[in-house]
Amino acid sequence: MHILDLTLDDPRDNLALDEALLDEAEAQDPSYELLRTWEFRQPTVVLGRSSRLIDETHTAACHRDEIPILRRCSGGAAIVGGPGCFMYSVVLSCELRPRLRMIDQAHQFVLGRITEALQSLDITVELAGTSDLAWETRKFSGNSLRSKRTHLLYHGTLLYDFPLPLVSKYLASPPRQPEYRQGRDHDGFLANVPVSRDALQAALCAAWQPATSCSSWPEQRTRQLVANKYSQDRWNSRF
């Protein structure tokens, strides 16, 4: 596995890069795998692939504060990212790991690895809901996936020093809620896990054990995706 530690300046570029990495893997050896670590440079609302804009965001507040509202290529509900919310993206081979072709198995496999690595930091982490990680019954990690022919993109958030009131400010209550949420609002449901960004980075590396670091990335494909998709209202506001 390779590792790419890369945050781009524009939030649209960061979302496009995740999809470009999946496309690149599809065009390479079926055993190709990569871990990317990054973090939005500014607060950004990111809708899931099928999220309804009006149902999941406080659109007026986002526009007033000039918060970008973008859409990712994977499923799940809307999130707010930004400084203090560590992001990871792992591209995995379904040829090497056939169980990943089953969505429930993919969640269990990826989050099981991450949970084990985080528990080495002396914090109690639990898998919760379909694809969350919780600390002391509060969510600090949400995750989603996109599957293609030979590879799977699995990516998510790890809250460690995020201004949590921004979530209530920019997101409505999600239309679908896991049982363990127990009706709590964002402020009562979310938490920053008490570890540093460097510790999270080290834990992810321990989970996936990348053998090589890479500095190159699919710039042309990323630019194409930004131009044709991630900068377009027909994608970001389509629902």
Domain ranges of the chain: 2-236
CA distance 159 to 43: 13
Read off the pLDDT band of 175 (50, 70, 90).
confident
Q: Rounded CA gap, 236 and 239, in Å?
A: 8
pLDDT band at 108 (very low <50, low <70, confident <90, very high): very high
C-alpha 34/C-alpha 119 separation (Å) is 23
Look at phi and psi of residue 120 and say left if phi exceeds 0, alpha if psi is from -120 to 50, else beta.
alpha
- Range 6-26 average pLDDT: 98
Task: Give the model's confidence band at 114: pLDDT under 50 very low, under 70 low, under 90 confident, else very high.
Answer: very high
Q: Model confidence over 55-83: pLDDT tens digits?
A: 999 999 999 999 999 999 999 999 999 99
pLDDT at 44: 98
pLDDT of residue 59: 97
At 18, list the tokens.
């995740």
Q: Give the tens place of pLDDT for each residue, 133-156.
A: 999 999 999 999 999 999 999 999
Calculate what percentage of the chain has a pLDDT beyond 70. Answer: 100
Position 131 pLDDT exceeds 90: yes
Is the pLDDT score of 50 beyond 90? yes
pLDDT at 163: 98
**Residue 104: pLDDT band by 50, 70, 90 thresholds?**
very high
Residue 9 has pLDDT above 90, yes or no: yes
* Predicted structure pTM score: 0.96
CATH number of 2-236: 3.30.930.10
The Cα 100–Cα 98 span in angstroms is 5
Residue 132 has what pLDDT?
A: 98
Q: What is the mean pLDDT of residues 204-208?
A: 95
SS3 128: strand
